[in-house]
Amino acid sequence: MAEIKESFFSAEGLEKRLNGKKFWKVMMTEYWIPKDINFLWAMGVVLATTFAILIISGIFLLMYYKPDTALAFDSVNYTIMQDVAYGWLFRHMHGVAASVVFLIIYIHMFTGIYYGSYKKGREMIWLSGMLLFVTFSAEGFSGYMLPWGQMSYWAAAVITNLFAGGSLEAWGLVEWIRGGFAVNDATLTRFFMLHVFLLPLVIIKLIVIHFYTLRIPHVNNQSSEDIDYDAEAEKYLAGNKKESKVIPFWPVFLSKDFAVLGLFLIFYFYLVFFNYNFAMDPVNFDPANPMKTPAHIYPEWYFLWSYETLRGPFFDMFGLKAGDIGLMIFGFAQAAFLIIPFIDRDPDILPAHKRPRFFIWFWIMIIDLLVLTVYGKLPPTGANAWVGFYATAVFLLLFASMPFVTKADAKARGAL
């Protein structure tokens, strides 16, 4: 170790001990970003900001929330909303951010799929991002249960009951998760621990991993061009900024991010102050009642598409019960996007509009997910049940056909 003679309390001494200038250069001023990007590449900063809002507002809510079945509902709807100064604001900020964060996640995810940002060296970026999506989903579900309203209780009962399907029942998983034979005080305490402690720690760690995996292959760009970052960086540093295809992360790229973030915050605070109810189910303003089942049970909007795949098969097939088939499809739906880098057989990184068959595949997928989302909130009766069944079948066919669709594009282009 090099000898450091400078005082710990001097600027030079701290710099030698921390090496902050080199860290700033590697992480910010000489971390290069493609110039050919649009506002969709700002979603990472928007997501980080939204997660920070969730953490800060959650800490304030945590001061007054009571993780007890006898006290939870009143602590949220009376103590926080009426007795605590600006408690209503922090609850609205938390509730809206919890919903909006999934909108941003979906935009971020589908941007990656459209531009092929999961291929050729970027697989770890995609996998860490999808693990973040799964962890955020668990965080969202555990938080939805905490107000202990009528829909919170019954949504928890339905979702935890998934672990009683098929051979899972023999392991007693559902009783272990609930802490009993029904959703009860132990269940609330366990989900409270997951929501405020364990899952946020996992999310923070995954964010660090996600950002780290982004350092080596760099971000993709709109044309999916393979850029020689060293050569382009030399041009930029030599003053030839116009011809260089890259820009530094700080301050140029982040200035674009902050512009998009400003627009997002306008939209976010509009919802917080004027339309916060969009993120709150009216049924959830009734206290949880184990003796009274709601007419129709459904999760939050961001889970509706996968929830519909669970109940899509409403009749027995292939010698299997409808519930078991639905459970298997639901399990596949949770992992379907995770495997995309391995079922895309096109060797080139190209945006969807340069892969005609994949372009059609992509938009059919978007439409199908919207249909699943809409019908996931409707009662599964009559025509609704059949629409859900066929939309679920299309979802499965899309992922089964992806290797053939992408390979056909590559062959038509002469890449195979």
pLDDT in tens, 56-111: 999 999 999 999 999 999 999 999 999 999 999 999 999 999 999 999 999 999 99
Question: In whole angstroms, what is the distance from residue 159 CA to residue 302 CA?
Answer: 14
- The pLDDT, as a whole number, for residue 330 is 92
DSSP 8-state secondary structure symbol assigned to residue 317: B
β partners of residue 248: 32
**Per residue in 44-70, is it b (16+ CB within 10 Å) or e — as a string?**
bbbbebbbebbeebbebbeeebbbebe
Q: Write out the E strands in 249-313.
A: none
- The pLDDT, as a whole number, for residue 369 is 97
371 touches 391 (CB < 8 A): yes
Q: What is the mean pLDDT of the chain?
A: 91
- Owner of token pair 């979603």: 43
- The pLDDT, as a whole number, for residue 263 is 96
pLDDT in tens, 200-232: 999 999 999 998 898 777 888 898 888 888 899
pLDDT in tens, 248-290: 988 888 999 999 999 999 999 999 999 988 878 889 999 999 9
Question: In whole angstroms, what is the distance from residue 391 CA to residue 368 CA?
Answer: 6
Question: In whole angstroms, what is the distance from residue 62 CA to residue 58 CA?
Answer: 6
Region 312-332: what's the mean pLDDT?
Answer: 89
Q: How confident is the model at residue 165 (pLDDT cuts 50, 70, 90)?
A: low
For the chain, the residue count is: 416
Q: How confident is the model at residue 410 (pLDDT cuts 50, 70, 90)?
A: very high
DSSP 8-state secondary structure symbol assigned to residue 287: B
Q: How confident is the model at residue 168 (pLDDT cuts 50, 70, 90)?
A: low
Region 183-203: what's the mean pLDDT?
Answer: 96
- The pLDDT, as a whole number, for residue 167 is 61
Q: How confident is the model at residue 2 (pLDDT cuts 50, 70, 90)?
A: low
81 touches 285 (CB < 8 A): no
Region 50-61: what's the mean pLDDT?
Answer: 97
Question: In whole angstroms, what is the distance from residue 86 CA to residue 60 CA?
Answer: 10
Question: In whole angstroms, what is the distance from residue 156 CA to residue 191 CA?
Answer: 10
Question: In whole angstroms, what is the distance from residue 276 CA to residue 92 CA?
Answer: 6
CA distances from 45 to 52, 115, 220, 339, 387 (A): 11, 19, 16, 25, 37
pLDDT at residue 166 is higher than 80: no
DSSP 8-state secondary structure symbol assigned to residue 288: P
Question: In whole angstroms, what is the distance from residue 183 CA to residue 166 CA?
Answer: 20
CA distances from 116 to 74, 271, 388 (A): 48, 32, 29
Question: In whole angstroms, what is the distance from residue 231 CA to residue 234 CA?
Answer: 5
Q: What is the pTM for the complete model shown?
A: 0.93
351 token code pair = 């945006």
Largest CA distance in the chain: 80
Which residues, 6+ apart, have CB-to-CB distance to 150 below 8 Å? 283, 284, 286, 287, 288, 289, 292, 294
pLDDT in tens, 367-385: 999 999 999 999 999 999 9
